[in-house]
Amino acid sequence: MTVPSRLRTALLILCAILCTASTPAQPSPAPTSYRVPAEKLPTYVGAYRFDDSPYYPLSISLIDGKLFAESQRMPRQELAPSAPDTFVPASGSHPFILKFTLSADGKISGLTRIAPDKSTHPAQKVDSEPQTFIKPEFARQEVMIPVRDGIKLHAIILVPKDATAALPILMQRTPYGVDESTSDSVNSRFPELVHDHYIFVFEDIRGRYESEGTFVMSRAMVDHTNPKLVDESTDTYDTVAWLVKNIPNNNGRVGVFGISYPGFLAQAAGIDPHPAVKAISPQAPMIDVWMGDDFFHNGAFRQTYGHDYTLGMESSKENAFGKLDEDAYDFFLKAGSFAAAAKQTGVDKLPTGIGFLKNPAYDDFWRSRGVEWHLDKVAVPTLLVGGFWDQEDMYGPQEAYALLEPHDSNRENFLVLGPWNHGQWGGSSNHLGDIYFGEATTDDYRVRYEAPFFNRYLHDQGSFTLRDTATFETGSNKWKQYSHWPPPEAKSENLYLFPDGALGFADPARAMLPPMTGAQVAAMTGNTNKNYTEYVSDPANPIPYRHRPIQATYAEGSHWYTWMVEDQRTLLAGRHDFASWSSKVLEHDVTIAGDVIADLFASTSGTDADWVVKLIDEYPATPATTTSPLGDQPTADTTPSYQLIINAEIFRGRYRTSFDHPSAIPANQIEEYKWSLHAADHTFIKGHKIVVQVQSTWFPLYDRNPQTFVPNIMVAAPSDFHPATQRIYANSHLILPVLP
Ligand code: PG9
């Protein structure tokens, strides 16, 4: 196990580091003895705008004969040459390579920034003058804040030195450490909020880093009428009371925001809030780690995440995320069960590890940790934010919005959904993995929604014009606004999975897809000899959820952040243990906006089964028109077709009638399984195909279902695992929210 620095791990978890924002502490590529003639240095000077994050150009300046790089989101750093027209930071903790590009006349026309993960980010030279930046200085104070049970919580307070009026407070509470909060870090992480003038507060939660007390993972909510009990809401309440009393010149208003665990803490801040809390923004909050966030989805156990996160958070008071010495696929397959894997690494002795092993079903252990049971009023204006490809907490923001919406008589419950992975909107990017969206949607979000939201509720200023929901419609790549989510204008359409591998809407008159054949109609009505599609699922050879090798979740170079957009065509190539249905080539665009529901009628020859349903956009093969970003390596002749997951979710069959009382599935009997694949706002473009896949393993992210009912899958013995024949019957369908 390696223990990375706390900032690095926190940022890895938030994922913002993948972009041009602050980057993790890593050794910089060593500058060499390469020299650039002094007269050449001025040719590099200027402002460079990145294709994938145009909001924040990089500035190259020459000061006292030395070259420096700086952006609004990156502190100024001296550059050292490492090869012709190539520079690296002379020192420090922000590693990158800058390779300048030349136009035909030999002049510097742009550069490519090569990140530590080897991703390349081309930029055009847009000005021959360097840009200047406004980066306010903050006075930094470190405090211990007493809460109601006598415990003291550690916090950093940053007050703008140039403040001329009383300012509101913006607070983040976190389990990931706050010591590295400085003027530089807020200028890098929150440029739009810094611009709008806030006092920033960062607090270590109970039991983490320098705060006293005991850390409890997703601490359960207590009865707030009992003044002796504490939870994350009461700790926030007491902290806010202390802050508004003790920070000079604050305006008595507090906003709480954060992504993921800090998002859960922001959500908790809005439950029985202190009166000074005037706005919260829970971003990718986990609100129920069993139902649909980090640790289980519909009862299927997310063993790699549960394992790695528990080890990272509970084996030390500080982050201790590690790496595995082998492919996680091999490690968990060889171990056989989660109990056996956890025993090898010591996770079986940690509180949450014990929780997994003893409480596989949705009992009080998990229910008490569900914030969702407390979301029965919009106590303060709330901006929920989520990503369509959030690999950790996709359920939380969507479900929290849906639970609050019926109580939103003042219209203060807002939702923004974008084309992002977990927390990606904190950085600057116009793409996720290989999928490009045409604009820096991350910066769009912060500039158009996040900053105006806090400006309105904490400063009474600016124009926050969001009526209710903003989403980025993928495929067509444009921002949309709706009066409610899911949009009332979308109509539910059943998309049937026919036994001959075709997909079709029930009503051919809609002509959204080419009309059904007679055989398809016969299959749908059961008037055929074979009205099902079948495959054999073998737990001894489970389908990988991403291309191998599979690194530990937050290990160096891990592909965890983009697995949801990996090409399903190459991932499943050569396999026969799944079923697939495809539309014909679309004759016109089909747009869906709302929740996608799977409604399977299925049987298994075993007595338990997992069902994974994926709704896929199949891009056609296209001739290559581009060269690589470095401009010196031509790409292949054609881009092969690409299968992009739009929605995907798992359901563990034993929970089909109850999440707290699992039961065996009667072998070879048709049962109905119905569950949500969550939100999409996506256009399947004319010329593409709609594809649906069903499979029964998604490994090692999800533990293997033995396919024979056992009381506790966590401790299943090798002899419990059996291949099973799975049948998907013709009346199975997806319910799609189709926009007219
Ligand atoms: N997804 C992380 C997490 C949150 C809450 C519980 C468990 C894990 C996180 O990124 O903070």
Q: Does 264 contact ligand 1 (Cβ within 6 A)?
A: yes
The pLDDT value recorded for residue 52 is 84
| Domain assignment of residue 330, yes or no | no
Whether 608 and 579 map to the same domain: the answer is: yes
Name the DSSP letter for residue 450: I
Mean pLDDT in consecutive groups of 10 residues from the start of the chain, 740 residues: 35 36 41 83 97 92 97 95 94 85 94 90 96 96 98 98 96 98 97 98 98 98 97 98 98 98 98 98 98 98 98 96 94 98 98 98 97 97 98 98 98 98 96 93 97 98 96 98 97 91 69 53 62 96 98 94 98 97 93 98 97 98 52 52 97 98 97 97 96 98 98 98 96 95
pLDDT for the residue numbered 20: 34
3-state helix, strand, coil in the chain (%, to 5): 20, 30, 45
Q: Report how far residue 639's alpha carbon sits from residue 357's, in angstroms, rounded to the nearest whole number.
A: 45
Q: Is the dihedral of CA 345, 349, 350, 351 positive or negative?
A: positive
- Cβ–ligand 1 distance for 261 under 6 Å, the answer yes
- 729 assigned to some structural domain: yes
Task: Tell me if 73 is assigned to some domain.
Answer: yes
CA 287/CA 265 separation, integer angstroms = 10
Q: How far is the CA of 262 from the centre of ligand 1 (A)?
A: 8
Q: Give 268 Cα–ligand 1 centroid separation in angstroms.
A: 14
Q: How far apart are CA 44 and CA 477, in angstroms?
A: 34
CATH code of the domain covering residue 108 = 2.40.128.50
Do residues 612 and 718 share a domain?
yes
For residues 167 and 206, membership in a common domain is answered with yes
Atom of ligand 1 nearest to the CA of 295: 7
Residue nearest to atom 7 of ligand 1 (CA): 294
286 lines ligand 1 (CB under 6 A): yes
Q: What is the pTM of this model?
A: 0.93
Tell me what pLDDT residue 629 has: 35
Q: Three-class SS of residue 653?
A: helix
9 C-alpha to center of ligand 1: Å? 12
Residue nearest to atom 3 of ligand 1 (CA): 261
State which of 127, 149, 164 marks the end of a domain.
127
Does 290 contact ligand 1 (Cβ within 6 A)?
A: no
Q: Assess if residue 483 is contained within a domain.
A: no
Pairing type for strands 532-537 and 724-729 reads antiparallel
Q: What is the 3-state secondary structure (H, E, C) of 376-404?
A: CCCCCCEEEEEECCCCCCCHHHHHHHHHH
Cβ atoms 711, 359 nearer than 8 A? no
Give residue for tokens 């030279």.
Answer: 125
Pairwise CA distance, residues 545 & 550, whole Å: 9
Let me know if residue 331 belongs to a domain.
Answer: no
Strand partners, 154: 144
CATH number of the domain bearing residue 152: 3.40.50.1820
CA distance linking residue 416 with residue 470, whole number of Å = 5
> Is the shortest distance between the CB of 21 and ligand 1 below 6 Å?
no
Atom of ligand 1 nearest to the CA of 423: 10
- Count structural domains, the chain: 3
User: Are 495 and 588 in the same domain?
Assistant: yes
Residue 634 CA, chain-centre distance (Å), reads 32
pLDDT of residue 609: 98
Among 444, 463, 442, 460, which residue's Cα sits nearest to residue 452? 463
Ligand 1 touching residue 389 (CB < 6 A) = no
Give DSSP secondary structure letters for 468-499.
Answer: SEEEEEBTTTEEEEESSSS-TT-EEEEEEE-T
Task: State the amino acid at position 13 in one-letter form.
Answer: I
Output the CA 419–ligand 1 centroid distance in Å.
19
Distance CA 434, CA 569 (A): 14
Q: Which domain holds residue 594?
A: 491-738
Nearest CA to ligand 1 atom 6: 261
Counting from 1 in the atom list of ligand 1, the atom nearest the Cα of 218 is 6
294 lines ligand 1 (CB under 6 A): yes
Say how many Å lie between the CA of residue 403 and the centre of ligand 1. 21
Is residue 380 within 8 A of residue 270, CB to CB? The reply is yes
How far away, in angstroms, is 383 Cα from ligand 1 center?
19
CATH code for the domain in which residue 711 is found: 2.60.120.260
459 lies in the same domain as 506: no
Q: Do residues 466 and 567 both lie within one domain?
A: no
φ/ψ of 615, rounded to 5, equals -100, 125
CA distance 402 to 176: 28
Residue 130: phi and psi, rounded to 5, are -70, 155
* 213 and 109 within one domain: no
Q: Are strands 300-301 and 296-297 parallel, antiparallel or unpaired?
A: antiparallel
Beta strand spans in 685-721 (E): 689-695
529 plus 588 within the same structural domain:
yes
Q: Is the CB of 314 under 6 A from ligand 1?
A: no
Distance 259 CA to ligand 1 centre (A): 9
Residue nearest to atom 11 of ligand 1 (CA): 261
pLDDT of residue 730: 86
Same domain, 399 and 258: yes
Q: Domain boundary residue among 473, 500, 535? A: 473
In this structure, the residue with its CA closest to atom 4 of ligand 1 is: 261
Q: Give distance in angstroms: CA of 13 to centre of ligand 1.
A: 8
Distance of alpha carbon 476 from alpha carbon 171, whole angstroms: 36
Q: How far apart are the CA of 239 and the centre of ligand 1, in A? A: 22
Cα(679) to centroid(ligand 1), Å: 20
Q: What distance, in Å, lies between the first and last C-alpha atoms of the chain?
A: 53
Residue 80 lies in a domain: yes
So what's the pLDDT on residue 117? 80
Residue 424 maps to a domain: yes
Secondary structure of residue 258 in the 3-state scheme: strand
Same structural domain, 496 and 463: no
Token digits of residue 165: 């009026």
Q: Which of these, 225, 218, 199, lies nearest to 138 by C-alpha position? A: 199
Spacing, Cα 261 to ligand 1 middle (Å): 5
Residue in 13, 291, 394 to alter for ligand 1 test, most ligand atoms within 8 A of Cβ: 13
- Measured in Å, residue 286 CA sits from the centre of ligand 1 at 7
The residue among 127, 156, 173 that closes a domain is: 127
**In a shared domain, residues 169 and 76:** no
Q: Is the peptide bond before 549 cis (omega within 30 degrees of 0)?
A: yes
Asked whether residue 355 is domain-assigned, the answer is no
Name the amino acid, one letter, at 346: G
Of 173, 260, 265, 352, best ligand 1 pocket probe by most atoms within 8 Å of the beta carbon: 260
Atom number of ligand 1 nearest to Cα 176: 11
Per-residue H/E/C for 187-226? HHHCHHHHHCCCEEEEEECCCCCCCCCCCCCCCCCCCCCC
260 lines ligand 1 (CB under 6 A): yes
Tokens of 555: 């290990």
| C-beta 310 within 6 A of ligand 1 | no
Q: What is the distance between the alpha carbons of residues 381 and 672, in angstroms, rounded to a whole number?
A: 39
Cβ burial of 120 (10 Å; 0-12, 13-18, 19+) is: middle
**Which amino acid residue places its CA nearest to atom 8 of ligand 1?**
294
Q: Contact 486/594 with Cβ under 8 angstroms?
A: yes
Q: Are residues 387 and 275 in the same domain?
A: yes
**Cβ contacts of 135 within 8 Å, gap of 6 or more:** 72, 183, 184, 187, 194
Residues ≥6 apart with Cβ < 8 Å to 429: 18, 19, 20, 52, 53, 440, 441, 442
> Residue 624 has what pLDDT?
53
Cα dist from 427 to 173, 431, 715, whole Å: 19, 11, 40
Distance of CA 581 to the CA centre of its chain: 28
* Dihedral angle computed from the Cα positions of residues 362, 367, 370 and 376, in that order, rounded to the nearest 10 degrees: 120
Q: What is the DSSP secondary structure assignment for residue 551, as one 8-state letter?
A: -
